[in-house]
Amino acid sequence: MQGRKPIPTAVKELPGNPGHRPLRDREPQPKVGEPPMPSGLSRYAKQAWKRMVPILLDMGVLTVADGDALMLYCEAYASWKTAMIDIKKNGG
């Protein structure tokens, strides 16, 4: 696709649709809700999942389509936490 990439409707609505152009109404609308926790998460990743899901649900930004992205965040957090514990224990 050539030219400028379309701006998502939700992003246009944030500043109040300053261009006053008609907004698209046929964009995908994933269901707001909690995706199932993937099996096989590490211990710290599970802790991060259980901490983040209620926060994101309260904000109204978590959808059932966000499971993989949330899983990757939680595992990245777990890797960081494990590394920090190792550094504190064994030195850097």
> 39-54, pLDDT tens digit by residue?
999 999 999 999 999 9
Give the mean model confidence (pLDDT) for residues 25-51. Answer: 93
The mean pLDDT of the chain is 91
| Residues 30, 62 contacting (CB under 8 angstroms) | no
Bigger pLDDT: 68 or 2?
68
What is the model's pLDDT at position 48?
98
**H and E: helices and strands count for the chain:** 3, 0
Query: Residue 11's closest CA among 32, 35, 27, 31?
Result: 27
Please state, in angstroms and as integers, the Cα–Cα distance from residue 73 to each residue in 34, 69, 80, 81, following that order. Answer: 15, 6, 11, 12
Query: Residue 73's closest CA among 49, 39, 42, 38?
Result: 49
What is the model's pLDDT at position 1?
58
